[in-house]
Amino acid sequence: MWAGLTTARWLATVGAGVAVLSVTSCGLFSAETVDSEEVANEAAKILEQQVGQAPDDMTCDEDLPAEVDASIRCELTTDGTAYGVTVTITNIDGNNIELDVQVDDEPLS
């Protein structure tokens, strides 16, 4: 369980989250994309800030285009249930990228 929250309550709590990702090193950010693993890690951190515990697993299958309003679909798993997640870039300021994370209301089938 997520710090005593049921999956449904957890999702209601974390429907959206925004954070700034600083991508200044490690080759995770090129002029064109943000590495999919870094996107997944940062999305999990955003969700953890909302509920106090990270998802059991978070994966993104593709790199995120480095442009405002670009988005990719990712997947999180909590309590054995998978949910779709949309990660969108809302702002870019130099090497700082602001991400919005939206968790689907319904589990993946």
* pLDDT tens-digit map of 26-68: 444 556 898 999 999 999 998 888 878 889 999 999 999 999 9
Condensed to tens digits (0 to 9), the pLDDT of residues 10-31 reads 444 444 454 555 444 344 455 6
Cα angle for residues 41, 27, 31 (degrees, 5° grid): 100
The structural domains of the chain, with segments of one domain joined by +, span 7-107
Condensed to tens digits (0 to 9), the pLDDT of residues 68-87 reads 999 999 999 998 999 999 99
Which top CATH class is 7-107?
alpha beta
